[in-house]
Amino acid sequence: MDDQRAIAAVLGDYFKGLYTGDTALLRTVFHPDAALFAERSGQPYHKRLDDYLDGVAARASPAALGEAYRMRVLAIDVTHDIAMARVHVPALGFDYVNYLSFVRREGRWAIVNKVFTEVPVSG
């Protein structure tokens, strides 16, 4: 499988985990030491992976709330064993743009960093 498709497959699991609230699936796409940073409602946000997954587990998922599945890949850029993906994640009444950094180790792509922000809700 080429790198773009392999990363797209990881992103498919990422989207599915976010949409359904499946923290076990989300854990498979992140490196255990991944860090998450954002600006949310004008406030800085920083979490380690376990704290982030605890938050996902504690909230109602977009699927449980009956939201339409509209998550999509905007861009993937690969250089050797590193990559960056820009994705659109409409969920829980927000529109998010995520920048996800990937590293390939032992033939497997994993998200090592998630940086995200809210953008105006699209129609």
pTM of the model: 0.93
Using only C-alpha atoms, what is the Rg of the chain? 14
DSSP letter assigned to residue 59: S
pLDDT for 68-104, tens place per residue? 999 999 999 999 999 999 999 999 888 999 999 999 9
The pLDDT value recorded for residue 92 is: 87
**How many distinct helices (H) and strands (E) make up the chain?**
3, 6
Strands 94-105 and 82-91: antiparallel
Fold of 3-119: Nuclear Transport Factor 2; Chain: A, (3.10.450)
* pLDDT greater at residue 94 or residue 56: 56
Looking at residue 93, its amino acid is G
Q: Cα separation of 83 and 34, whole Å?
A: 15
Range 46-64 average pLDDT: 96
Query: What is the residue-wise DSSP string for 15-33?
Result: HHHHHHT-HHHHHHHEEEE
